[in-house]
Amino acid sequence: MKRRTLFSIIVITLTAGFFTLFYGMHSTWTDTRSAQAVQAATDQVNDLFKDQSHQLPSDQLNKQAIAAAETKLQQARQKANDADHAAALASAQADVDAAKHMLIVKDAVAQNATKLDELKTLSDESQQALTELAKQKPTFVQTYQKRVAQLSDQEAAVAKIASLFSDTDFKTPKPNLSSLSSAQVQAALAAVEKLDNKQFADQVMPLISTAQDATAGEDSRDTEPSASSVLPSSADSSQPAVADSSSQASSSTASSSESEQSQASSSTSTATSSSSQNP
């Protein structure tokens, strides 16, 4: 009886020890897997930035890199098993969201859009992104806010240029452009000249030249005298000619009459002379 009781105690003790060991090993293995998943996710997030404080984006930041980081985070969440891991993943997710806003700004300032609707979209989206990053990433905001402001200046300049054209491609100046205030052309020119982005300014300056050429052409056509104001009308030109012809005809008639009168006077004098000589 004592042997049976002792054997039972030994079996129970060994079984309990086995389960305790198994649970401990499983817990350790689970913790290890969770820690490894969290580490892999945070490493992937770190690659989105060029500094340890995650204030500036990596030069290779793109949509594919952000998508890969989000995939790693999703996998880590499925394996995370404690509060510390959950907090680390939440912080990493916040950095991924910030990277998305950074990419919007980076892409916006890198483009050379000249169409008004595109510039407006880029300017609005980048301004909104900076607003979202103001508290979390102040270094990034300070670095890029001037370049985003340049987008707003470019949008304003193109809006003034757009007022000179009748199409969105800026190929057809508005008809009767000369009837517009010349101040509009000068305002567009001034807006382009003050741009800090000289490459963009050089790109849109020919558009203003096109508008100026159209204005000059219409002004010259407006100032050309019409043919009717230079040349006399046929009726007016014919009247002096008729008058001249009448004057010449009258002069000829008068001369003929005087000639005939002088010949008649000569004949009368001759006849009188002859009659006085004959008794």
Query: Which has the minimum average pLDDT: 153-162, 170-179, 188-197, 247-256?
Result: 247-256
pLDDT-based confidence at residue 258 (cuts at 50, 70, 90): very low
Interatomic CA distance for residues 238 and 54, integer angstroms: 94
Burial of 61 (0-12, 13-18, 19+ CB in 10 A): buried
Contacts for 113 with CB less than 8 Å, ≥ 6 apart: 119, 122
Q: N- to C-terminal Cα distance for the chain?
A: 222
List, for residues 88-129, the tens digit of each pLDDT value: 999 999 999 999 999 999 999 998 888 999 999 999 999 999
pLDDT-based confidence at residue 178 (cuts at 50, 70, 90): low
Please tell me the pTM assigned to this model: 0.65
Interatomic CA distance for residues 163 and 191, integer angstroms: 13
**pLDDT > 90 in the chain, percent:** 46
Q: What is the pLDDT of residue 46?
A: 97
- Look-up of token digits 């009168």: 261
Average pLDDT over residues 166-175: 85
Q: What is the DSSP string of 133-167?
A: HTTT-HHHHHHHHHHHHHHHHHHHHHHHHHTTBSS
Q: Which tokens in the block code for residue 11?
A: 């079996």
pLDDT-based confidence at residue 210 (cuts at 50, 70, 90): confident
**Backbone phi, psi, residue 194, to 5°:** -90, 0
pLDDT of 19 > 70? The answer is no
Interatomic CA distance for residues 34 and 220, integer angstroms: 80
